[in-house]
């Protein structure tokens, strides 16, 4: 899978009113009336019309997208002068939360904090009652590469150690994951590429998935580079689906470097975490949508938010891409899910 180019889109929507006087005898009352209307229209798009905003998060509290959403919410409140609430709606590999969001008012009071490829899995694998074009991206903020992670007490010191044990014990080595997303896809690709058999154990969110590893209920976890830092004192990352993540996990080998010994290679995927709006909101209120995007971008580039990202280790995986590139990224990931849907199979 190709790496997505980081780009910055500067979005603005200021309107300029040009007026020319036709003569000194013209009644001033008409001009004054028109000017007042212009000021009223401008005022309508310079102030956010809602006192509160809700971010629907389709996973439990404590997961990676929940953490991203809370960070954005806390810093966006000051920028928009509103209260931003988090509404966790876990279940069915994000489908419950996504369905809930779609059925909320499309007036800009509710946004969706989601992750690809879970959104596409809901549609392609789980026959959700919504479609990909109902979500308009504000920003794909994080692209967090996949990791192969074990508990600190694990006997596996390297990814090669783990693969050798998997080969010797087909179907017995378990890993924690979330059905249908990039983590599960990586497991399925490893099975197909190496002709091995794994035992996936499904959870509804990153918090539950990591707790399963911490409790040593599974042999390993397919996680995320930044997400795993929440439990870094208790785990080892053996391999990572990226060639440039030394800053987060200096001892982790790129997955495909290890797979060279097996004459194998898999597409590198990651958890792509985003903030999205209803497409109908963007289409019917383009000025308001752009106002939100502009506020988000200003918040993202602020010194306070950049410091927050750095303190949480998220600066390595975070960027402001803007709606256009984020929408393209969303559709490319959706196409990837369509391509590999047969490898994921049914959830048992």
Please report, for the domain that includes residue 116, its CATH number: 3.40.190.150
Domain of residue 153, residue span: 145-262
- 55 and 138 in a single domain? The answer is yes
In a domain, 239, yes or no: yes
Same domain membership, residue 73 and residue 128: yes
The enclosing H or E element of 209 equals helix 206-214
pLDDT of residue 10: 31
- Residue 191 sits in the same domain as residue 100: no
Q: Per-residue pLDDT for the chain (348 aa), expressed as one digit of tens each?
A: 333 333 333 333 233 323 333 344 444 444 444 444 444 444 457 789 999 999 999 999 988 899 999 999 999 999 999 999 999 999 999 999 999 999 999 999 999 999 999 999 999 999 999 999 999 999 999 999 999 999 999 999 999 999 999 999 999 999 999 999 899 999 999 999 999 999 999 998 888 999 999 999 999 999 999 989 989 999 999 999 999 888 889 999 999 999 999 999 999 999 999 999 999 999 999 999 999 999 999 999 999 999 999 998 899 999 999 999 999 999 999 999 999 999 887 665
Q: Do 56 and 191 lie in a common domain?
A: no
Q: Within a domain: residue 232?
A: yes
Q: Which of 240, 262, 284 is the last residue of a domain?
A: 262
For the whole model, what pTM was predicted? 0.81
Residue 237 included in any domain? yes
- Judged by DSSP in three states, 10 sits in coil
Cα–Cα distance measured from residue 170 to residue 113, given in angstroms and rounded to the nearest whole number: 37
Report the Cα 304 to chain-centroid distance in Å. 21
HSE, CB side, 13 Å, CA atoms: give it for residue 246: 2
Shared domain for 223 and 276, answered yes or no, is no
- pLDDT given at position 11: 32
The pLDDT value given to residue 44 = 54
Backbone angles phi, psi at 182, to 5 degrees: -65, -30
Whether 65 maps to a domain, the answer reads yes
Number of domains within the chain: 2
Same domain, 127 and 116: yes
Instruction: Give domain status of residue 21, yes or no.
Output: no
The residue out of 262, 294, 313 marking a domain boundary is: 262
Task: Based on the fold, state whether residues 153 and 252 are members of the same structural domain.
Answer: yes
Among residues 262, 294, 314, the one where a domain terminates is 262
Task: Please report the pLDDT score of residue 30 as a whole number.
Answer: 45
Residue 39 lies in a domain: no
CATH code: domain of residue 219: 3.40.190.10
Q: Within this chain, do residues 128 and 105 fall inside the same structural domain, yes or no? A: yes
Q: Are residues 170 and 242 in the same domain?
A: yes
Are 167 and 254 contained in the same domain?
A: yes
337 and 306 in a common domain: yes
Residue 42 lies in a domain: no
Q: Coil, strand, or helix at residue 216?
A: coil
Assigned token pair, 341: 């849907």
d(CA 42, CA 165): 65
pLDDT score at 16: 31
Partners of residue 14 on adjacent β-strands: none
84 within domain boundaries = yes
Domain co-membership, 232 together with 245 = yes
- Spatial distance between the Cα atoms of 304 and 309, rounded to a whole number of angstroms: 9
Q: What is the pLDDT of residue 231?
A: 95
């Amino acid at each position: 899978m190709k790496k997505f180019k980081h780009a910055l889109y500067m979005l603005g929507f200021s309107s300029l009113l040009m007026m020319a006087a036709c003569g000194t005898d013209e009644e001033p009352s008409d001009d004054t009336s028109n000017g007042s209307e212009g000021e009223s229209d401008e005022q309508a798009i310079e102030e956010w019309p809602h006192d509160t905003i809700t971010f629907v998060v389709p996973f439990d509290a404590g997961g990676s997208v929940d953490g991203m959403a809370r960070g954005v919410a806390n810093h966006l409140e000051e920028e928009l002068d509103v209260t931003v609430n988090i509404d966790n709606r876990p279940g069915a590999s994000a489908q419950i939360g996504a369905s809930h969001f779609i059925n909320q008012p499309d007036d800009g009071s509710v946004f969706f904090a989601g992750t690809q490829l879970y959104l596409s899995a809901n549609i392609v694998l789980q026959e959700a009652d919504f479609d990909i074009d109902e979500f308009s991206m504000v920003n794909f903020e994080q692209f967090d590469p996949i990791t192969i992670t074990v508990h600190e007490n694990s006997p596996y010191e390297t990814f090669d150690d783990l693969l050798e044990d998997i080969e010797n014990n087909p179907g017995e080595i378990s890993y924690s994951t979330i059905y249908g997303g990039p983590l599960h896809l990586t497991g399925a690709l490893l099975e197909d590429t190496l002709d091995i058999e794994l035992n996936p154990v499904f959870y509804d969110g990153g918090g539950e998935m990591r707790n399963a590893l911490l409790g040593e209920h599974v042999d390993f976890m397919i996680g995320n580079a930044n997400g795993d830092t929440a439990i870094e004192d208790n785990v080892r990352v053996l391999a990572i689906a990226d060639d440039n993540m030394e800053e987060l996990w200096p001892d982790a080998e790129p997955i495909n470097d290890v797979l060279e010994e097996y004459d194998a290679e898999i597409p590198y995927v990651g958890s792509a975490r985003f903030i999205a709006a209803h497409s109908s909101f963007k289409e019917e209120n383009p000025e308001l949508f752009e106002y939100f995007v502009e506020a988000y971008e200003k918040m993202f580039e602020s010194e306070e938010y950049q410091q927050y990202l750095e303190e949480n280790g998220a600066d390595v995986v975070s960027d402001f891409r803007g709606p256009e590139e984020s929408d393209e990224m969303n559709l490319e990931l959706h196409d990837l899910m369509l391509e590999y849907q047969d490898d994921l199979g049914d959830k048992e």
